[in-house]
Structure 1
Amino acid sequence: MARALPRPRPPFAAVRRWYEDELGWPTTGTEPVELLTGPRFDVLEMPADAGRAVLRRMPRTGPVALLRPERGGKPAGDRPKLLMLIAAGGAEELPEILEWLEWGTLAADLTARGAGGRMPAPAIPAEHRASGGCGTREAAGWVRPPQPGYEVEDFLPATGFGAGIGDGGGVPDLVRLVSTAATECHRARLVRARNGQSDRACGAQPLAFSNASRMSAGTRPRSLTL
């Protein structure tokens, strides 16, 4: 009597198992797999061009993922986005931090996902894939992947005096990260406008009254003095 062969594990199941079992991160349990933000971490989201500039200025951060547009059936917008993991609760603090830094609505491209939110689960890093492992259908990929066996909280920017400075992770504190991200988001927005690229977020607001003009006039926002 012929024996029934076991059905191969579908790629999405392997992705879910890696995040839940290896990292201890809760997922939606759906296909494509999504990670729940809030329980273990929050996420700062920004255009990829601005995010790359942030990574050059801050070479040591927590895990970072790249969200590609028009992938997995769920459009991410006209441009790729960079998702930077931060300590849980940081998303709720973002508006207040931006106000304190005197950015107001000028850093409109900088947003956050926190409690009750989710993000696409990036493809499992190649070094952690099983032989013949998962496919590449995921809408996101790791730029700086997490490391199994390490508590993610130890490597994420958090608020508080001296948070993230001089500790084992060496990550920047959240206020300094937001300051850098807001600056680079606005700078990238000005570059796109100068190059004539589409940017719906700009709306009809004249860029002459942006923080760029304030910097040239010598009235720098607080974020540039940190």
Structure 2
Amino acid sequence: MVPTVPLVSTVPLPRRPRDPDDRARRWYEDELGWATAFGEPLRLVTGLRFDVLEVPAEAGYAALRHLGPASPVAVHGERMRLLVAAGGADELPGLLDWLEWGALPLDLTAVGAGGHIEAPPPPDRNGSQGAAVWLRPPETGCEIELLLPTLSAVGGVAGTPDLVRLVDTMATQCHRVRLRRACAQPLAFS
């Protein structure tokens, strides 16, 4: 007797119709070509067109000089999110080790493949208080992959910001912020 194998459907689940009033989602998907995650609040999928490095905003401002003027940067509360080339999140631990920052606890995180971030509202719209906002909004009509920080030796285009310099600057600034905060704490004596 031959065992029967159940048929597996390869038909994708139906997509829910887009809300015609959802201008923000249309802007990200249609004008920028960025994937968004299903549901609310609106979230951007990372790992496809870009990854995100997230640091305290205080540390992130020092790193802006290593980015091109068209590199998108968002701020969410006290955190800054810098978009880097897809795959940059995977490179972060190795870069930190190579730069000799790997042994220190830094407030520097990466969001890559399979992740998402809250989507700031498009530049022409206001978001709710406390929501993410674009400090440097993405530009429509340009290939973002060519403008984002990448490892220079791995196919970076001339003029593309260098991921190594960016990570080194952010690690240095994160460490300074951590030390400053530690020095500001009152001493506890028992």
**TM-score normalised over the length of structure 2:** 0.80
Alignment of 1:1-226 (within 5 A): 9-10=20-21, 13-55=22-64, 57-58=65-66, 60=68, 62-68=71-77, 80-126=78-124, 134-137=125-128, 139-161=131-153, 167=158, 170-196=159-185
The CA distance in 2 between the partners of 1:163 and 1:81, in whole Å, is 29
The CA distance in 1 between the partners of 2:156 and 2:123, in whole Å, is 25
The CA distance in 2 between the partners of 1:143 and 1:99, in whole Å, is 29
Percent identical: 54
| Counterpart position of 2:3 | none
Report if the CA contact (8 A) 2:34-2:49 is conserved: yes
Gaps of 5+ in 2: 1-18
Matched residue SS, 1:85: strand
The structure carrying a bigger helix percent of its residues is 1
The CA distance in 2 between the partners of 1:63 and 1:46, in whole Å, is 15
Matched residue SS, 2:117: strand
Q: CA deviation at 1:187?
A: 0.7
The CA distance in 1 between the partners of 2:156 and 2:172, in whole Å, is 20
**TM-score normalised over the length of structure 1:** 0.68
The CA distance in 2 between the partners of 1:160 and 1:66, in whole Å, is 26
Matched residue SS, 1:35: strand
Over the aligned positions, Cα root-mean-square deviation in angstroms equals 2.1
Matched residue SS, 2:101: coil
Report if the CA contact (8 A) 1:107-1:185 is conserved: no
| Counterpart position of 2:6 | none
The CA distance in 2 between the partners of 1:59 and 1:42, in whole Å, is 15
The CA distance in 2 between the partners of 1:60 and 1:135, in whole Å, is 25
Gaps of 5+ in 1: 1-7, 69-79, 127-133, 198-226
The CA distance in 1 between the partners of 2:39 and 2:153, in whole Å, is 39
Q: Which runs of 4+ in 1 moved over 4 A?
A: 162-165
The CA distance in 1 between the partners of 2:105 and 2:164, in whole Å, is 14
Report if the CA contact (8 A) 2:52-2:111 is conserved: yes
